[in-house]
Amino acid sequence: MWALIIGLLTSVQPTSREVVQLPVTDSLVNRVVNVNRIIIIGNKITRSRIISRELSLSPGDTISTNRIKAVLEKDQQKIYNLRLFNTVTVRWLELTSNQIDLLVEVSERWYTFPVPIFELSDRNFNEWVQNYGADFKRINYGLRLYQYNFRGRNETLRFTAQFGFTRRFELSYRIPYIDRQQKHGLIIDFSYAEPKNLAYFTDDHKLTFEEGRKTLRTTYGAGITYTFRKNFYETHSFSVGYVDNQIADTIAYLNPNYYGEGSVTQRYGGITYSWVSEHRDVVAYPLHGYQITALLHKAGFGFESNVNQWEMNLTYAKYFDLKKNWYFSNFSSVYLSTPANQPYTLYSALGYRRQLVKGYEVYVIEGPNFFLNKSTLRKKIFSRTWQIDDMPIEQFRYFPLTIYLKTYLDVGYVENYPYYQEQNLNTRLSNRMLMGTGVGLDIVTAYDAVIRVEYTFTREKTSGFFFHMKKEF
C-alpha cells in the first residue's frame, strides 16, 4: 500500500516543515535586540492567543542575538505540539540593528473528523488473531466524531456511538484554558457501556470471555478534571469521577471475585492527581528530549463505595539524537498498588494500554506491582514530504512520510496477586523477568499516524510478527 502511495506522489514537488530562519547579518551578531511586534499568519480558525501562549518572547522583550535561534526553535516545537498545524515556521525580521519583528506562519490541519468505527475489541491485532481466531464477531462498529480546535481555542469535543462487540456511548469536552492568563482548564467526561460479550476471568494470562443474548454488564461513568499549566512544560491535573457498574448473575457465578464476594454491583468514587513534565521535541513521535509523568489514584470514596484501592505510576522517557539519522530512546515505568487483594475488575497488568513487553502482546500479566523498561535504537532510512496541489481540501495537501528501521530490548517484571498464588493461577509469566527483543519498522505519516511492524523474540523462546497502529510510548 505504501509503495503505491509513494509511486503516485513521486511527481509532486516536495516541501519541508523545518524552521526557516533568516540569515543573521553582521549588524545583529552579539547584539541585544528588542522585539517590536509578533505577527501570526495562516491561522484562519485558531485564535492568535492560543499560538502566542507558546512563545517565550513578547513585544517589548529584549534578547541577545546569540540566543534567539535556540529560543525560536523551541517555540516552534511547542506550537507544533499543539497538534493543530501541519507546518509551523518561526523566524525573525530585522527592522533596525537593535529592533526585530517575530513572524509565526502556520498551516492549519483539518479539525472535524466523523470517523467510522470498525475496530478490534481486543487489545491488539495479534491477540485478536492468535487468541480468538480473527473472529469478526469481536469487531466494534459505529461512529466517533472529533471536533478538534473547537471555537478556535484548541478545545476538543468528542462523541462516540459504538455498537457490535461492546455497545458504548461517550461524550468528552476538553477546554485547555478557561481564563485569560491561559493557565487553568477543564475536561468533562460522560460514558455508558453495555457489552454482551465480557472478559470475566484470566486463564494462563489470557482473557476468558462469556457471550450472552442479554447485556452482561452496564457501566455508567462521569468525571471532571481540572488542569493547571503554570509554565510551558509542566501540567498538573486533578480529577474526580464516579462509576456505577452492574453485572448479570451469570458473571458473578462464573467468577465470584469479579466484584468480590459474589456481588453483582460495584459503585465507587475516584480521585486522581497527575503531573506531566513535557520536554519532547515532537510529541507525536519524539526523537529528542524527555518526559516525566507521575500519577496517584484513589479508588473508593463516598457513601455507597465498596472499593478501596491506591495506585501510583511513575514513568520516565528519554530520547537521544545520536546524529547522522541515528536515535536512541529509553522508557521506564514503575506501578505500585495497595492493598494487593482486589476485585477482578480492579486488577492491573502489563499488557493494557501501552505498558507491555514486546512479544507478549497476546498476554495480560496481572499483578499489584510491576516494572517495565523499553530501549530502542532507530535509524531513519527514508523521509520525504509532498505538497499535493491538486488535492481539493487544503488541509490534506501536506503529506509527510518517514520510515525508521529499529532494534529494541524490552524487560519487565510483574509481582503476582496473592489470590492467583493461592489458587495456583496465572503463575507462568509472573514473578519472573520478562524479555523481548527484535527488529522492526516505524512508519510515521500525516496527522500523527504511526504504524509499527515488528518481529520479536522472547525469553520463553517464542517469536513472531506483531502489528500496531499506535506509537510505542
Query: Tell me: the pLDDT tens digits for 158-201?
Result: 999 887 767 889 999 999 999 999 999 999 999 999 987 888 99
In terms of pLDDT, which residue wins out, 423 or 7? 423
Q: Which position has the higher pLDDT, 423 or 15? A: 423
CA-nearest of 98, 82, 94, 6 to 48 is 82
270-285 pLDDT, tens digit each? 999 999 999 999 999 9
Evaluate whether 450 touches 443 at the Cβ level (below 8 Å): yes
Q: Tens of pLDDT along 238-262?
A: 999 999 999 999 999 999 999 999 9
Q: How far apart are CA 284 and CA 294, in angstroms?
A: 20
- β-pairing, 184-195 vs 139-150, is unpaired
Report helix, strand or coil for 249: helix
Q: pLDDT digits over 116-147, tens only?
A: 666 665 555 666 566 666 665 666 778 888 89
Query: How large is the average pLDDT for residues 16-39?
Result: 62
* Domains of the chain with bracketed CATH: 15-108 (3.10.20.310), 112-468 (2.40.160.50)
CA dist list (Å): 226 to 175, 178, 237, 239, 259: 10, 10, 6, 6, 30
As a whole number of angstroms, the distance between CA 442 and CA 448 comes to: 12
User: Which residue in 280, 275, 292, 355 sits closest to 319, CA to CA?
Assistant: 280
Min mean pLDDT across 205-209, 404-408, 409-413 is at: 205-209
Mean pLDDT across the stretch 336-358? Answer: 91
Q: Where residue 1 falls among pLDDT bands split at 50, 70, 90? A: very low
Query: Percent of the chain at pLDDT above 90?
Result: 71
pLDDT at 168: 84
pLDDT of 212 reads 74
**Which of 125-134, 283-292, 320-329, 355-364 has the weakest average pLDDT?**
125-134
What's the pLDDT at 236? Answer: 98
CB 196 within 8 A of CB 219: no
Contact assessment for residue 82 and residue 107, using Cβ atoms and an 8 Å cutoff? no
11-15, 77-81, 402-406: least confident range: 11-15
Residues 6+ apart with CB under 8 A from 198: 209, 210, 216, 217, 247, 251
Output the pLDDT for position 59. 96
What are the phi and psi torsion angles at 315 (to 5°)?
A: -135, 150
DSSP category for residue 31: -
pLDDT for 203-241, tens place per residue? 999 989 887 778 889 999 999 999 999 899 999 999 999
E strands, 97-196, in order: 99-108, 112-120, 139-150, 155-164, 166-175, 184-195
**Banded model confidence at residue 471, pLDDT cuts 50, 70, 90:** confident
